């Protein structure tokens, strides 16, 4: 029995960098979830009988929204809903299922690295048939629908039990519950030399994976411990919890400090890694070195051919605009394409589908390839392990050799969190107002060579995205980028990205804050950050 329920629109259902993210109590308002999901289905316009993947990172409220989504999918003409057992699917595993099972799309429930729990964050995102996040054309249609919605459709009956793998029915719709790990594990096995990685581990190579009580626990335990032979206990915080154990599932220097400290100890393991709430981000740490996401992208791109899945070489690399230009140097030297896109994995989809790029990455701890259409935390870990198994060098040796060969891009991102929205908008507006007169201005030893507000023309479909971040480039190639985060749920988050290039290996051993000192000061002068936000420094530096 299908019920059509009258509703009224909410004005704030505009998807951000990665779907709609709000606090849990906000999502719990009557009809808030239903309105958004109906708006997705109305934009997706599924063929009758189409199939849909549904799953999430297991955070608080995941269970309820999975049930609602199944009931609404059944009422909106979907013939089959494929759902991870207990509603669990990591974001890359969901992307893989959409592709493997050729579904019309998928709904992924996650607020990624944001904290969970009754007062934490929640999120809903729609992915299209290629497995990737819906492009702006569709997210805009979803938003438009959400502003006009008058009713939603939902099955009157409860959704079937999703705790057991197998098929059942809700009205005319088949609900298929799958093991969340199995298909993903098969894919990883095709890409990487599991035998070589297992041999590396058997030879005494030690590792630790911090799942941060988030979704990757079961994936990492199955693959690293059960398949590759890492000893039990290699995966720590491996049990997913609705509130991530009270932690903040963001694999950065602040929230993954315990892992980093463990790796910095003289007798620490050879390799450490962590992933985020929904399993798409990664942090890579070697004994004595934290690998910055931008460097990790460059190293992976330069060495991917060592893994069987990429043995033929890679077609090209894409990075988001604020990501450091380390990957560009790899592309230039190897004679392959390099693409600079706005922040947001959705911008990589067309490039991957068109075969223009094989590897993509972002400074926000995301790396991935054409194997799915999302960034993939465990994939990055396995590619690193495959490279380590082939090169038999330490992480530190590999990164330092990379800098010697390609030069070093010193890089930092400074985040000012929960600042006043009006102050943040004012800061960006003031920067934009001054862009035209910026070129040629001198700040200490730095002279501005170019200044713009990044806009992107998709080389595949010609769509244009404007206002994607203010770039101030100095002669010599150093740069400062300012943009406002599109994933926060409270106030505004200002991100300032600071970068310089050092070709001389003799100068590769200073810390980034030393190498970037003048640029860091200049970022405050040009951005008027202290003056406009009242903050004397960033909350997080990555």
3-state SS, one letter per residue, for 243-300: CHHHCCCCCCCCCCHHHHHHHHCCCCCCEEEEECCCCCEEEEEECCEEECHHHHHHHH
Give min distance, CB of 114 to ligand G16, in A: 7
Check residue 366 for interaction with ligand G16 (CB under 6 A): yes
**Between 319 and 329, CB nearer to ligand G16:** 319
List the interface residues with ligand G16, window 135-174 (CB under 6 A).
none
**Between 285 and 365, CB nearer to ligand G16:** 365
Find residue 448's DSSP bridge partners: 474
- Specify whether the CB–CB gap between 458 and 468 falls below 8 A: no
Whether 394 sits among the annotated catalytic residues: the reply is no
Give min distance, CB of 315 to ligand G16, in A: 21
Among 364, 409, 412, 542, binds ligand G16 (CB under 6 A): 364
Among 487, 489, 522, 542, binds ligand G16 (CB under 6 A): 487
Among 22, 222, 281, 356, binds ligand G16 (CB under 6 A): 281
Distance CA 26, CA 65 (A): 13
Check residue 343 for interaction with ligand G16 (CB under 6 A): yes
Distance CA 256, CA 251 (A): 5
In sequence order, what are the residues at sequence separation of 6 or more whose Cβ sits closer than 8 angstroms to the Cβ of residue 13?
20, 35, 36, 39, 142, 143, 146, 147
Give min distance, CB of 264 to ligand G16, in A: 25
Tokens of 114: 């944001």
DSSP of 49-65: T-EEEEEE---TTHHHH
- Specify whether the CB–CB gap between 275 and 379 falls below 8 A: no
Alpha carbon separation from 80 to 124, 186, 359 (Å, rounded): 20, 23, 32
Q: Which stretch in 24-32, 442-450, 480-488, 513-521 sits in contact with ligand G16 by CB under 6 A?
A: 480-488
| 3 state SS of 260 | helix
How far does CA 164 lie from the centroid of its chain? Answer: 29
**Between 61 and 348, CB nearer to ligand G16:** 348
Q: Which stretch in 341-349, 437-445, 473-481, 516-524 sits in contact with ligand G16 by CB under 6 A?
A: 341-349
Check residue 344 for interaction with ligand G16 (CB under 6 A): yes
Give min distance, CB of 258 to ligand G16, in A: 21
Among 42, 225, 328, 362, binds ligand G16 (CB under 6 A): 362
510, 512, 514, 520: CA torsion to nearest 10: 160
Find residue 408's DSSP bridge partners: 502
Check residue 495 for interaction with ligand G16 (CB under 6 A): yes
Residue of 51, 104, 110, 112 marked active site: 112
Check residue 96 for interaction with ligand G16 (CB under 6 A): no
Find residue 80's DSSP bridge partners: 51, 174
Check residue 329 for interaction with ligand G16 (CB under 6 A): no
Among 117, 486, 491, 505, binds ligand G16 (CB under 6 A): 486
Tokens of 531: 């003056």
Check residue 132 for interaction with ligand G16 (CB under 6 A): no
Residues recognised as catalytic: 112
Q: Contact positions toward ligand G16, by CB under 6 A?
A: 17-18, 112-113, 276, 280-281, 320, 343-345, 362, 364, 366, 485-487, 495
């Amino acid at each position: 029995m299908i019920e059509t329920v009258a509703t009224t629109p909410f004005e704030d259902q505009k998807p951000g960098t990665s779907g709609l993210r709000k606090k849990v109590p906000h999502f719990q308002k009557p009809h808030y979830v239903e309105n958004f999901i109906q708006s997705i289905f109305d934009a997706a316009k599924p063929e009758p009988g189409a199939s849909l993947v549904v799953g999430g990172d297991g955070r608080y409220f995941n269970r309820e929204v999975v049930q609602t989504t199944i009931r609404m999918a059944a009422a909106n003409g979907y013939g089959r809903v494929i759902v991870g057992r207990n509603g669990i699917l990591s974001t890359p595993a969901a992307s893989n299922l959409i592709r493997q099972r050729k579904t019309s799309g998928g709904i992924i429930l996650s607020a990624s690295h944001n904290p969970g729990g009754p007062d934490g964050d929640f999120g809903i995102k729609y992915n299209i048939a290629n497995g990737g996040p819906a492009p702006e054309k569709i997210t805009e249609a979803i938003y438009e629908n959400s502003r006009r919605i008058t009713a939603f459709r939902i099955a009157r009956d409860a959704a079937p039990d999703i705790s057991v793998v197998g098929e059942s029915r809700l009205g005319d719709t088949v609900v298929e519950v799958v093991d969340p790990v199995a298909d993903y594990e098969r894919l990883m096995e095709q890409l990487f030399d599991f035998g070589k990685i297992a041999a590396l581990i058997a030879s005494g190579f030690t590792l630790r994976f911090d799942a941060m009580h988030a979704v990757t626990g079961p994936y990492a335990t199955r693959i690293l411990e059960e398949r590759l032979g890492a000893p039990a206990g290699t995966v720590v915080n491996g049990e997913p919890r609705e509130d991530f154990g009270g932690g903040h599932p963001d694999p950065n220097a602040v929230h993954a400090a315990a892992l980093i400290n463990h790796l910095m100890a003289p007798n620490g393991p050879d390799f450490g890694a962590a992933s985020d709430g929904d399993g798409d981000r990664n942090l890579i740490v070697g004994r004595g070195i934290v690998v910055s996401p931008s460097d990790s992208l460059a190293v992976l791109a330069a060495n991917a051919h060592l893994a069987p899945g990429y043995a033929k070489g890679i077609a090209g690399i894409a990075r988001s605009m604020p990501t450091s230009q380390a990957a560009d140097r790899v592309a230039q030297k190897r004679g392959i394409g390099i693409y600079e896109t706005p922040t947001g994995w959705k911008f990589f989809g067309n490039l991957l589908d068109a075969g223009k790029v094989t590897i993509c990455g972002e400074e926000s701890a995301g790396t991935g390839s054409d194997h799915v259409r999302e960034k993939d935390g465990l994939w990055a870990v396995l590619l690193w392990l495959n490279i380590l198994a082939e090169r038999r060098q330490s992480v530190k040796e590999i990164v330092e050799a990379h800098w010697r060969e390609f030069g070093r891009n010193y890089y930092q991102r400074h985040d000012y969190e929960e600042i006043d929205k009006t102050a943040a908008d004012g800061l960006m507006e003031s920067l934009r107002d001054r862009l035209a007169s910026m070129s040629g201005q001198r700040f200490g030893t730095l002279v501005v060579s170019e200044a713009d507000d990044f806009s992107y023309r998709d080389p595949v479909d010609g769509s244009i995205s404007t206002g994607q971040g203010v770039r101030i480039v100095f002669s010599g190639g150093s740069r400062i980028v300012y943009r406002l985060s599109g994933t926060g749920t409270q106030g505004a988050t200002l991100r300032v990205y600071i970068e310089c290039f050092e070709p001389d290996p003799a100068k590769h051993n200073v810390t980034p804050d030393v190498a970037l000192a003048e640029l860091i000061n200049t970022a405050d002068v040009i951005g008027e950050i202290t003056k406009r936000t009242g903050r004397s420094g960033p909350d997080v530096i990555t």
